[in-house]
Amino acid sequence: MDNVEVFDAGVKGRGLKATRDLLAGDVVFAEPSFSAVVFDSLSTAVCHNCFRQQANLHRCVQCKFAHYCDRTCQTACWNEHKKECAAIRSSGSAPSENVRLAARMLWRIQRDTGVVSDGQLTSVDELVDHVSDLTDEDREELQIDVHKFMDFWPKNPRKPQPVEYISHIFGIIKCNAFTLSDQRGLQAVGVGLFPNLCMVNHDCWPNCTVILNHGNQSALNPALHSKRRIELRALEKVAEGVELTVSYVDFLNLSAERQRILKKQYHFNCTCKHCTEHIKDDLMMAAKEGEGSKPSAELIKQVTTASEECLEKVAQCRLQGDVHGVARLCGECLSAQENVLADTHLYKLRLQSTASEVLSFMHAFAEAAAYSRKTIDGYM
């Protein structure tokens, strides 16, 4: 970890700061997952090792749950899957992704004592769980997960797992887990834990971003294979000694909504300048203004409501991997927004960004570039 060091970030707890000057695009650090699992709903469509969506995946012949691209991916994942495989066979079925992730974390903690390399800046057990801050509803859901975990975990009377410790593990997952996307970057397919990434604090206008690198297991020589990992990359010039930050939420939300999500999910009040001064809130909800003309309030309301409904449909299409449906919905809604919503409106920016992603995947690069330029202009 040559580029970062841990420091006391005051009320935010621990944080990471740069130990040298960084340029935009620099990889600050790369980190393989401590543990990761594929979502239940995609367990037969996504490789449980590299998290790529593939047709005709090979099923684990023992547990009949895990699926892999080929023998290479299955072999690479065996250390993670070995005990899980036996537990699934013993219980008769695979539990939810949260329980599977908790089990994989605990098996690895037992194997590696929670620190897997010299480059890991904190142990898993030292991560904050916020269990005491949970609402009654969230605490009830956590206890259900704990109960299901106890049913799934192999019984050992001489080494029973304390309920308090398992609750701690689930608390860590709830406020520290990172969603993993497929190789196209268009669909969330799993969830994992990255201890070093957990130490990077939030800012609504961050100086870093996180990219998922799926690794490469295609080389004939296993020594040349690379693991699935996240990469923390600088978004701008970062001077030595400056804190490194990422955004835990989509900036394309009004400040009050960002604060609500952060409080509910991560249990802190965001007091960054963008939230406290409501910077750009007016631009994010602005209407189009032409030469002496402005759309009526009724038309703005209609288009805004239609945009909200469209974004929900887009999210469903992304979950289903329907890129053509996403492209069609984005195109139709953006056409309806054209003379009604400002170029800075958050719904227009969200749809343009999504359209750029799916059109790039469909190799419609000219159209994707056009939407990207419009998105950048809207941000500026």
pLDDT of residue 378: 79
Helix axis angle, 97-112 to 136-152, nearest 10° = 60
Residue type at position 223:
A
pLDDT of residue 290: 74
Tokens 């194997």 correspond to 111
pLDDT band at 83 (very low <50, low <70, confident <90, very high): very high
pLDDT tens profile 293-340: 789 999 999 999 999 999 999 999 987 878 899 999 999 999 999 999
Question: C-alpha 279: how far from its chain's center?
Answer: 25
pLDDT tens profile 157-184: 677 789 999 999 999 999 999 999 887 7
Could you tell me where the DSSP H helices lie in the chain? Answer: 71-91, 97-112, 136-152, 163-176, 195-198, 255-266, 273-276, 281-284, 297-320, 323-337, 346-361, 365-379
- CA dihedral in degrees (62, 68, 73, 75; nearest 10)? 0
Average pLDDT for 133-140: 93
In the predicted structure, residue 219 carries a pLDDT above the cut 70: no
pLDDT band at 351 (very low <50, low <70, confident <90, very high): very high
Q: Which domains does the chain have, with CATH numbers?
A: 4-246 (2.170.270.10), 280-379 (1.25.40.10)
pLDDT of residue 1: 73
| Percent of the chain whose pLDDT exceeds 90 | 72
Average pLDDT for 127-137: 93
Helix axis angle, 346-361 to 323-337, nearest 10° = 140
pLDDT of residue 319: 79
pLDDT band at 252 (very low <50, low <70, confident <90, very high): confident
Average pLDDT for 189-197: 94
**Averaged confidence pLDDT in the chain:** 91
pLDDT of residue 293: 77
The conformational region for residue 64 under phi > 0 = left, psi -120 to 50 = alpha, else beta, is left
Across 75-84, 156-165, 223-232, which has the greatest mean pLDDT? 75-84
In the predicted structure, residue 222 carries a pLDDT above the cut 70: no
pLDDT of residue 325: 95
pLDDT tens profile 275-302: 999 999 999 999 998 766 789 999 999 9
pLDDT tens profile 21-44: 999 999 999 999 999 999 999 999
Which residue pairs from 102-107 have beta carbons closer than 8 angstroms and sit at least 24 positions apart in sequence? 102/145, 102/149, 102/166, 102/169, 102/170, 102/173, 103/149, 103/152, 103/153, 104/35, 104/36, 104/37, 104/80, 105/34, 105/35, 105/169, 105/172, 105/173, 105/193, 106/153, 106/161, 106/166, 106/169, 107/83
pLDDT of residue 218: 65
In the predicted structure, residue 8 carries a pLDDT above the cut 80: yes
